[in-house]
Chains A and B, each alone.
Chain A
Amino acid sequence: MDGFAEVLGQALALILSGDPDLVEIIGLSLRVTLSAVALGCVLGLPLGAVAGAFRFPGRAAVVVLMNALMGLPPVVVGLLVYLSLSASGPLGVLGLLYTPAAMIVAQTVLVTPIIAALTRQVVEDLHGEYAEQFASLGVGPAHRVAALLWDARYSLLTVVLAGFGRAVAEVGAVIIVGGNINHVTRVMTTTIALETSKGNLELALALGVVLLALALTVNAAVMALRASAVRAAYA
């Protein structure tokens, strides 16, 4: 117990001192995760909205696929992205392997189905309320998708949060395609794994505390925003 308290104290000291290595790792983690979530939103939100708002042949299969892909094993995604980006792979010429860009690609593959599938559910529910009014007004497809996404924006914050949670805590895929290279592709989760195995528990725990604080802060902010939106009947 004393050992744990001592390590925790050292970890907190590391955080409070603004250790450059720690800051660099946190910065890269946020850059990779936020980029992946942003890309996931660009792809997943419209995809989910279309699946939620329209009936088309094969829609049921698309919905099943989206839901199934929510549970993609990160290491499998990492392996597939690795094979695609490796020198002999179809995207090898891009030279992205073992770069933050490769990690962004892997995380985007992981979070896009989550965002798309959850968006589909949110939009489908809202469309159920709006469908007759939209039909009466003669709302076209593009207008319909845009309106549904805008009006569901507070509910979709939770969806984006789910994507963020998946991405920021992810370790399997990014360690395969990023290689966990010091000062290049080392992010919070991969560093925690590495430093723990090396016995460097202060840094691992410091990163764990930051990761936890980050998750709590983002969750609290989104929930507060959503609660105010609910009070205003916007959600």
Chain B
Amino acid sequence: MREVRMHADEPFCGAPLLRRGLTPVPLAEARDLTLRADGQALLDGVSCSFAAGRRTVVMGANGSGKSLLLRLMHGLIRPTSGTVLWRGAPLDRRARARQALVFQTPVMLRRSVLANLRFALAVRGVPRCARRARAEAALEQARLTALAHRPARVLSGGEQQRLAIARALACRPELLLLDEPTASLDPASTALIEQAVDAAHADGVTVALVTHDAGQARRLADDIVFLHAGRVAEHGPAAQVLSRPRSEAARAWLEGRLHLGP
């Protein structure tokens, strides 16, 4: 079996295909992304990819650039240099519509739960006659049907996050980007979110999820991108990164040690 590449300068693009000797085209790919602000490199030459049909978990300490990477991959911010590719071509408006991003703090419109979903569907051009049924199906999947007519902003944090994921999935994205969706949620809410992510993945949605939680990475990840100080420290199949991390930063992280060095 060929060795799977694991270094930042050798983008990893789907272990199963590599193992079969095939060259997969990543669904989304970052090529040498650099983002600078006030003369400081927030991301520095980041290259990585989210392979189609897989769950890529982006890990790293606070300030390592995880959320920025997701926003860059989604086209919300522009890199100082480097390129984001979607199916091998530069990310454009049409490609962005094939993605959905769920923020760490869900942004709920001042409307009912159902109206939040219907708004997203309207924006995405879903015909009016189909919106209600699609929104209700998404709510059912998220186990939020009973709350359909409640104001979205009075829901609990976990319910809001499930609604945000339901709203994203109702738009039927190919790539679901999740920015720390379970941060500050209790285990029960976390389990429901992870079930939703699993269900989306089972439906063929490619998932990229940012987390601090090594346990969550073990439960969810097919592939892992580990960022440290704005650079990719590890990138490869979860089994390998989690069992044999090469970088000291990732090793310390996974062992639960404090790593304060560069």
Find A136's partner among B101, B111, B119, B151 (CB 8 Å cutoff): B101
Find A138's partner among B96, B110, B151, B153 (CB 8 Å cutoff): B96
Main secondary structure of the interface of A (DSSP, over half): helix
Bound Cα distance A140, B119 (Å): 12
What residues on B are CB-neighbors of A129 within 8 Å? 107
Bound Cα distance A73, B171 (Å): 51
Chain B CB within 10 Å — which of A133, A135, A139, A152 has the most?
A133
Smallest CB gap from B150: residue in A = A232
Find B151's partner among A132, A133, A233 (CB 8 Å cutoff): A233
Q: Indicate with 1 or 0, residue by residue over B97-140, a CB within 8 angstroms of chain A CB atoms.
A: 10011010001011100000001101110000000000000000
Say whether B153 contacts A233, CB under 8 Å: yes
What residues on B are CB-neighbors of A232 within 8 Å? 151, 154
In the complex, B257 has a CB within 8 A of chain A? no
What residues on B are CB-neighbors of A130 within 8 Å? 107, 109
Q: Looking at the assembled complex, report how far the CB atom of A153 sits from the nearest CB atom of chain B, in whole angstroms.
A: 9
Q: Looking at the assembled complex, report how far the CB atom of B217 sits from the nearest CB atom of chain A, in whole angstroms.
A: 24
Q: Indicate with 1 or 0, residue by residue over B190-232, a CB within 8 angstroms of chain A CB atoms.
A: 0000000000000000000000000000000000000000000
Bound Cα distance A26, B216 (Å): 68
Q: Looking at the assembled complex, report how far the CB atom of B35 sits from the nearest CB atom of chain A, in whole angstroms.
A: 16
Q: Looking at the assembled complex, report how far the CB atom of A7 sits from the nearest CB atom of chain B, in whole angstroms.
A: 48
Query: Size of chain B's interface in residues, with CB distance under 8 A?
Result: 22
Say whether B74 contacts A136, CB under 8 Å: yes
Bound Cα distance A81, B154 (Å): 48
In the complex, B17 has a CB within 8 A of chain A? no
Q: Looking at the assembled complex, report how far the CB atom of B168 sits from the nearest CB atom of chain A, in whole angstroms.
A: 9
Known: A143-B123, A235-B110. A132 touches B154 (CB 8 A): no
What residues on A are CB-neighbors of B89 within 8 Å? none
What residues on B are CB-neighbors of A234 within 8 Å? 110-111, 151, 153
Smallest CB gap from B152: residue in A = A233
Bound Cα distance A136, B111 (Å): 18
Bound Cα distance A140, B125 (Å): 11
Smallest CB gap from B119: residue in A = A147
Smallest CB gap from A232: residue in B = B151
In the complex, B93 has a CB within 8 A of chain A? yes
Known: A138-B123, A143-B123. A233 touches B110 (CB 8 A): yes
Bound Cα distance A152, B110 (Å): 8
In the complex, A151 has a CB within 8 A of chain B? yes
Bound Cα distance A151, B110 (Å): 5
Q: Looking at the assembled complex, report how far the CB atom of A232 sits from the nearest CB atom of chain B, in whole angstroms.
A: 5
In the complex, B76 has a CB within 8 A of chain A? yes
Q: Looking at the assembled complex, report how far the CB atom of A228 sits from the nearest CB atom of chain B, in whole angstroms.
A: 11
Known: A138-B93, A151-B111. A132 touches B76 (CB 8 A): yes
Q: Looking at the assembled complex, report how far the CB atom of A227 sits from the nearest CB atom of chain B, in whole angstroms.
A: 14
11 contacts between A and B (CB under 8 A): A126-B110, A130-B109, A132-B103, A136-B76, A137-B120, A137-B171, A147-B119, A151-B109, A151-B111, A232-B154, A233-B151
Closest 6 CB pairs of A and B: A233-B153, A133-B107, A151-B110, A136-B101, A232-B151, A233-B151
